[in-house]
Amino acid sequence: MDIQALKHDDVPVWSRLERGQRITFHHHDDGPVTGVLDEWSNEASVLWVHLANGAGRRLIHREDGFLLEGSA
């Protein structure tokens, strides 16, 4: 799956992501968040990402303005 410059409110796209998929999010107040998708909520509005380089795990909420760029 190849996803580029998607809107943060595009829930159907977020719901098509797969566990273990490498993804990158961008945010206007934060640098890129890159890692591997771990888990997500039933409505796909909240994702847990294992961050790259062993930087832990991060919760991403679509209403916080994150833009998804990832690739599988």
Residuewise pLDDT in 10s, the chain (72 residues): 334 444 444 555 787 889 999 999 888 888 788 999 999 888 778 999 999 999 999 999 888 888 888 433
Cα atoms in the 13 Å half-sphere on the side-chain side of 49 = 28
Residue 44: per-residue pLDDT: 79
Residue 10: per-residue pLDDT: 56
Q: Which of 72, 4, 68, 71 is nearest to 32 (CA)?
A: 68
Q: Residue ranges per domain, the chain?
A: 11-68
Residue 4: per-residue pLDDT: 42
Residue 11: per-residue pLDDT: 58
Class of the CATH domain delimited by 11-68: mainly beta
